[in-house]
Structure 1
Amino acid sequence: MTTIAEALPMLGLRINAGPLEMRGITDGLLGPLADIVVAGIHDPDAMPFYVPWSIAPADGETGAWLGRAHQGRGIGAAMRQVLCAFAFDHLDATEVTSGAFTDNPAALGVSRKVGYHDNGRDRVERREGELAVVQKLALTPEELVRFGHPPGIDGLGNFRRSIGLVEA
């Protein structure tokens, strides 16, 4: 019988670094995740995201967020560092890019703590009729600031094959 991890290798991928575990969302996690979202990700009057995914249909770009109760404790920086290390060390990435509004110092601080450098600015419509400046950021393997626990990874082989990084 085929397991969900075999059918959808992203769901079999687990990245552990000390107390931090990142994995795909399964049915059993949907309820607790919904509770976190309902409790709030950002102030309803603000739009902290470069791509306003919290109020718009998904367009395929990735992003990260933490529920308010989990913000300001270093979890975001640890997540970013571990994911960048994973991309560089296991997915052959040569550069990781990001962006944050210039009036979102927390997001910019997380990126800079991990080693990102400024990579230009854009002016975008944050919400209808509201322009804001996005600070673009870039990171290379040499710039990555590694801290905390080195990541342990389960399901890497199947995941790499599923995205075409190794022969099937």
Structure 2
Amino acid sequence: MTLTDYLPVYRLRLRTDRLELRLPDLDDLVALADQAAAGVHGPDFMPFATPWTECEPVERGRRTLRWQMGVIAGMTPEKWMLPLVVVLDDQVIGMQEVGAKDLKVTREATTGSWLGFAHHGKGLGTEMRAAVLDFVFNGLGADYATSASFEGNGPSEGVSRKLGYKADGIEHHVLGDQRRVDNRWRLSREDWEANRKHEVAIEGLDDDVLAMLGLGDAGK
């Protein structure tokens, strides 16, 4: 038996012109922790509802490892998250997550991501989100994808608008003693199809993977 016999989702590969997205092995986890330790964002803006980056570099890497392992270990067909590493030229450069709750019924998935700071501003954020959107709509047959970005996070908002998302209301979060506005974004299948700009190859998506993601006999 191999790892993919027990966890078929490890067979998944999403490929674009420049990127490969996959679940991380141990070497990938170390490389991702290195990216986190080196920095994820500038000092003047916190993009995360949980400020996990506010610590020393080694602790940022350690938190990354723990979070990734915990999310993978906690997957169930009813509620799951795939914390995919993003690979460019054989180098792990960041993380793109995609997840859902009761996907068979809701037909809705959500995404989140981060890139090592050195890789910002190169269009990679758009390309990696396009990869998981193709997986969500074309691979899993979802009707909607959602995302969110704090007010003032221009790059994330730009990716959402470029890919066809529409504003979907706001939420308030408290970070420290400050109220932060979180802008919600929603993408329908129709708007995704109208704004597709990246070709995506999905590999390893079979009945065993679909069952792990809550689709089971219902398929797509």
Q: TM-score, normalised by structure 2?
A: 0.68
For 2:212 and 2:125, locate their aligned partners in 1 and report how far apart those are by CA, in whole Å.
27
Q: 1:135 aligned to 183, 195, 199, which one?
A: 183
Residue segments in structure 1 that go unaligned for 5+ positions in a row: none
Specify which structure has the higher proportion of strand: 2
What secondary structure does 2:216 align onto? coil
Secondary structure at the aligned position of 1:49 is classed as coil
Correspondence 1:16-31 to 2 at 5 A: 16-31=15-30
Q: Distance in 1 between matches of 2:133 and 2:51?
A: 22
By how many angstroms is 1:50 displaced? 3.9
The C-alpha deviation readout for 1:89-118, integer Å capped at 9, x for no partner, is 111211111111111111100111111000
User: How many residues were matched structurally?
Assistant: 165
Q: Is the 8 A contact 1:96 1:140 kept in 2?
A: yes
Pair 1:91–1:156, CA change in 2 (3 A): same
| Amino acid paired to 1:29 | D
- Which of the residues 147, 157, 167 maps onto 1:108? 157
Deviation at 1:31, TM superposition (A): 2.1
Deviation at 1:45, TM superposition (A): 5.1
Instruction: Give how far 1:4 is off.
Output: 1.0
**Cα distance between partner residues in 1 of 2:52 and 2:146:** 18
- TM-superposed CA distance for 1:79, in Å, is 0.9
| Structure richer in helix, relative to its length | 2
Tell me, yes or no, if the aligned pair for 2:139 and 2:202 is still in contact at 8 Å.
no
Task: Note the 1:75-86 alignment, pairs <5 A.
Answer: 75-86=124-135
Determine the C-alpha separation between the residues in 2 that align with 1:52 and 1:156: 34
Q: 1:51 to 1:137 in 2, by over 3 A?
A: farther
Percent sequence identity over matched residues?
Answer: 35
Report the counterpart of residue 10 of structure 1 in structure 2. 9
- Which whole-Å CA distance do the structure 1 matches of 2:8 and 2:52 have between them? 25
Deviation at 1:44, TM superposition (A): 4.5
Contact 1:15–1:22 (CA under 8 A) maintained in structure 2:
yes
Quote the offset at 1:165 in angstroms.
1.5
Superposition RMSD on alpha carbons, in Å? 2.3
